[in-house]
Structure 1
């Protein structure tokens, strides 16, 4: 097998990223990529196209194509396996499977492709190994940063000592100049407390012959004290000026190091925020979002304790002139689903014709709404039928001697494809990771929370069921519960779709797009 190039292109033929693995002219590679969209037909079941010189092996990823250009002598089975491995890597690095997401993570994807394909030949690696290789750290780099940081810390200590010596010399010099007035100077002002809640000016005391010395000396001291801040309850804390001076000198020193080309490693606090990046903003004039959240509690011995689905249909309009519309929808007609419209929606129109429109047709829908827009329709569904579950999980722990063998299996029904599936299995407190005997997918051990994370990027017709077997020290079977799961799907229970946009002011309807998502909110086996 010889892979000439790997690329991710849009369905319009635009190459987003491309990696060449053999010596070949750039014009020739660009010619191959430009010819691919013309060769792909619609409605075909196979995922490869052969020409006179090369073979195109591809896999659709939403609105994109993952494409391999190979020679015709390569093994088609190895080509398909390589495409499948690359398709698992793309969601790992790209936060969204569209042009923007791929372009923003282009370098990470190219590095991952290099770990899978070397000089045109596939490497025997897994997704976890590729991620590990791409995240490997350099010992020399760590050592260089430690040495540089130690130099900076040492320089800071020297600066503190110098600043302390300078402050001490200033104090000694002031003592020599002030003479017997140091006790007054230590107050930080030309005033003293008389003990009656008010301050008495020293010059007035000296002028009255109270024994503090000649008035001229006191006036001289007051004159020298001008410009120094008066100490008060609302003033800055003692020593703040010295700290600000040190900070300013430290910043100047660090700036000089940066000017000389040194890399300054600063202490940065990690910001607390959402780990998941926000969805890309809508680009079409009208965007409709169909989202369902599923909450399920399953019994470990079989049966459903709770099954609840809540869905929303949201409308987002970019320009106010496109707000005079109505939305025609299609549903599966499931009697178990109960729909509720927004109070401003014409309920009779929705009940008779499945059209969502305002009670006052002359009023437009609001535009530039934050988030997913304004909610037009809500629905809920409850059931006790196990056959409609999108994911079934069975756990079988068994103790044998001083070890516990745990077998877990998942199963999904036909026509239900799940993405980004992660199953969280609680474990007893362990010093080391559990010993994995067999797994369909990838795994990760969270030692802080003592949880085993079993992840499967995509569950489709090729892997409707899968299993995991691991071994831990002897433990109570109840320790491994509750098991929770997280996943998404593009097919909802309501099977609601937007059929058409009906303009009320005449003319052609505005261009619209719809997003459909089913997400698990709380999916547990207890």
Structure 2
């Protein structure tokens, strides 16, 4: 009363693979499978045949057969259920059920057979449970892999930073050497621009290398010392009480110790506390490593838009805001006297220019240039914001024109204390740019969660799930999709707020309809200059409530 063997064979009876659960020699199994096709008839719809002392329970699977060889006393109904489960397992493991694919996945298929049948008797399992057992995942191993991956990324970033720092030191040394080691003078220190002093033989003072910080060190020190303004949303780190303090000078120490400093600090703490709940949830959301700035030897213009979206769990959009900026970075001192010819589809009052950009020229002709022709743009290889714009959908209007991806969440209570959750996403068909690394962060009450489909890209942690769609091409099969899992929770609210993150690199168009047409010399607009343009769209705060 048992299953003797579970086999996969061809229509001609050739054994592809077989797992014997009783003491049965492989030659005997080969003979039984060779006799099996002679007992089947194409005109019948039976799934069982008998021969001698054995019974064949079989199911066609494309060009192959999945066959159970049992004795005649075995329970035929249980054998049919076992056969159906084995066929589902084979279909889920092998993408195309043919002889080559089955042989390539023989180890996984045989392991699954062992999970379903033990000593000739079927285990009371479902397909999802078999897949879970086959995964054999370790939470500790995942954490270790993440740690190793982060170490590799940090090492790569450190190497790039060191290389860039050495390159800037070399350029700075070459620049000082070109000016000559005279006993005194002003050098290039006055004005920071490329003009005015190149053609003169004014002697200059070369300070000792130890006492002179490199431009990169100066920028880093400034970035660390200045207060962080703005931000918020899931990309932030929330209220960081243990963050390393920046060294203060005696002047700043005296200011901070003054009596009037206390109300300012109290006001800052109050404003921080108002956003503590959202910031605390966002702080746990893993941040993408910052992309190091590429080497720039000329003119680089970056158009970037940040999305801030709040939507309901039924896909209703509560609010949607777009904050855009156009930034200039110049790495060649000879290319600082320029004008940027742009196009913009919105009303003029929607766009704000930098105070030192000629507002009249931009309003009239969409030309970005300096208000003072004698003061060129800086060539410090740092990004300078020249233009900003903001777009907002009316609150409560459910307007999705600034929402590339919408989500729908479905819940059903399964066992007591557990929910079956299905999350669907859909990309707006009018959105024409590829989306990279669409990630959904789902809070969990406990680590007791199970993902139904192992083909999805996901990571599970003690307090959250992360579902990732690596790339979505316009018009492709990933324009919509779903993610199903079962997790322990008291109510649906335990899964919220969910955080969404994605980016669009090299966007063909932006929500603000801003584009760079050309870069020309300030003195001669017919003289076009080479430049590099980047357009990116990133999520600043994309929340499902």
TM tier, smaller: 0.3 to 0.5
Bigger Cα Rg: 1
Q: Give the TM-score normalised by the residue count of structure 1.
A: 0.45
